[in-house]
């Protein structure tokens, strides 16, 4: 019998990579799909990985508890990965309550749906390094205090503590992955890394001359999404649920990411990047740097992709897309 799993956020970056990983492991993969008027493009990432026909999709929304319960009763998953969220930090200042409803209360809805309909299922919550915000320690681990700096981070913190609370209150196998930034060719175009690699490809192909960015000094611990979804799965294979930091242990600035991306195609960022105040944020997370020692020791997990390789893969994918007029 195939193991059955349900992924929320299946159309997003991580949902696509996790689906591919679980299909390769022999799982029967189900995904929650929110209704969209643009049904022809919602599964673009799944198509890109060649797995769009292999996932059973269910109509549902994180804000609709009764619908979630129905999906849970129908699917009866052994593992549930809650990846759905309003995940763009900058938008969370424009849509703070929506972000709270989806990213925060939506996770509580998922915990309730599991508790009511399939309490034996193992549950993964997509927590975030953004919760460290105004960092309280130079290197962040599972014991570092949180200091959220955006409505998104505050919503994620609620979801995180609800996961811990359901584990302790109801003895659910609920784990939380505190994942640092992870990127890929499937990253949304609004996030800085993909915006840079798409911009570099456009400039290289003569389609644009400049790339407008915000804070070039912000530093992030960037890994590859393909590596990070393995850690999610490993967490649910443990006898005991727990929380884990998933990171590379290396931090780099937006400026350094730009230098690598422009350098990859033989260009200099100084000739093309302009700073535009519209991309600054009301409050910034200046630097993030994670310590993945616990994940290494207990899960046997380690990142496999260097920052240089990640940047190269993203730039090459964007060049290929633009040459082929593929849109993602």
Chain residues binding ligand G4F by CB under 6 A are 87, 89-90, 128-130, 180-181, 190-193, 195, 213-215, 218, 220, 254, 279, 281, 284-285, 288
Residue 186 contacts residue 20 (beta carbons within 8 Å): no
What is the SS3 assignment for 271-288? HCEEECHHHCCCCCCCEC
Residues at the contact surface with ligand NAP, assessed by CB under 6 A: 8-9, 11-15, 32, 34, 36, 42, 61-63, 83-87, 102, 126, 128, 179, 181-182, 188
CA distances from 32 to 10, 61, 166 (A): 7, 7, 22
Reading the block at residue 109, the tokens are 């809805």
Reported in sequence order, the residue ranges of 43-145 that DSSP labels E, i.e. its strands, are 56-59, 79-82, 122-128
Residue 138 contacts residue 289 (beta carbons within 8 Å): yes
Residue 197 contacts residue 318 (beta carbons within 8 Å): yes
- Nearer to ligand G4F (CB atom), residue 70 or residue 259: 259
- Nearer to ligand G4F (CB atom), residue 68 or residue 218: 218
Among ligand G4F, ligand NAP, none, the one that 195 touches (CB under a kind-dependent 5 to 8 A) is ligand G4F
Tell the smallest beta-carbon distance from residue 158 to ligand NAP (Å): 13
Reading the block at residue 254, the tokens are 């937006």
Tell the smallest beta-carbon distance from residue 274 to ligand NAP (Å): 25
Tell the smallest beta-carbon distance from residue 192 to ligand G4F (Å): 4
Rounded distance, CA 328 to CA 37, Å? 17
Rounded distance, CA 281 to CA 90, Å? 7
Residue nearest to ligand NAP (CB): 12
Tell the smallest beta-carbon distance from residue 86 to ligand NAP (Å): 6
Rounded distance, CA 308 to CA 316, Å? 12
Reported in sequence order, the residue ranges of the chain that DSSP labels E, i.e. its strands, are 4-8, 28-33, 56-59, 79-82, 122-128, 174-179, 182-183, 211-213, 219-220, 223-224, 243-246, 252-253, 273-275
Among ligand NAP, ligand G4F, none, the one that 63 touches (CB under a kind-dependent 5 to 8 A) is ligand NAP
- Nearer to ligand G4F (CB atom), residue 70 or residue 281: 281
- Nearer to ligand G4F (CB atom), residue 83 or residue 111: 83
Residue 199 contacts residue 314 (beta carbons within 8 Å): no
Among ligand NAP, ligand G4F, none, the one that 66 touches (CB under a kind-dependent 5 to 8 A) is none
Among ligand NAP, ligand G4F, none, the one that 234 touches (CB under a kind-dependent 5 to 8 A) is none
Among ligand NAP, ligand G4F, none, the one that 213 touches (CB under a kind-dependent 5 to 8 A) is ligand G4F
- Nearer to ligand NAP (CB atom), residue 152 or residue 203: 152
- Nearer to ligand NAP (CB atom), residue 156 or residue 167: 156
């Amino acid at each position: 019998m195939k193991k059955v799993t349900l992924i929320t956020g299946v159309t997003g970056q991580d949902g696509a990579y996790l689906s591919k990983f679980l299909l390769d492991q022999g799982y029967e993969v189900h995904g929650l799909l929110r209704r969209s008027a643009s049904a022809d493009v919602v599964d673009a990432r799944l198509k890109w990985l060649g797995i769009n026909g292999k996932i059973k999709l269910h109509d549902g929304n994180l804000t609709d508890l009764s619908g979630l319960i129905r999906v849970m009763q129908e699917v009866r998953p052994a593992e549930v990965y809650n990846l759905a969220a309003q995940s763009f930090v900058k938008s969370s200042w424009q849509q703070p309550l929506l972000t709270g409803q989806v990213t925060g209360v939506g996770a509580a809805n998922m915990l309730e749906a599991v508790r009511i309909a399939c309490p034996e299922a193992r549950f993964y919550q997509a927590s975030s390094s953004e919760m460290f915000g105004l960092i309280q320690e130079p290197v962040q681990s599972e014991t570092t205090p949180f200091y959220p700096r955006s409505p998104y981070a505050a919503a994620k913190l609620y979801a995180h503590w609800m996961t811990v609370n359901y584990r302790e209150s109801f003895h659910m196998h609920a784990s939380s992955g505190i994942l640092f930034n992870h990127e890929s060719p499937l990253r949304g175009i609004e996030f800085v890394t993909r915006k840079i690699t798409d911009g570099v490809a456009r400039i290289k192909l003569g389609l644009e001359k400049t790339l407008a960015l915000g804070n070039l000094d912000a530093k992030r611990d960037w890994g590859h999404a393909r590596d990070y979804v393995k850690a999610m799965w490993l967490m649910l294979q443990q006898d005991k649920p727990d929380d884990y930091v998933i990171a590379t242990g290396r931090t780099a600035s937006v400026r350094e990411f730009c230098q690598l991306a422009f350098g990859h195609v033989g260009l200099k960022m100084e000739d093309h990047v302009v700073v535009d105040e519209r991309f600054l944020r009301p409050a910034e997370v200046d630097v993030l740097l994670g310590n993945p020692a616990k994940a290494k020791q207990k899960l046997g997990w380690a990142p496999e992709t260097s920052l240089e390789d990640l940047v190269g893969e993203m730039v090459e994918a964007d060049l290929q897309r633009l040459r082929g007029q593929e849109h993602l």
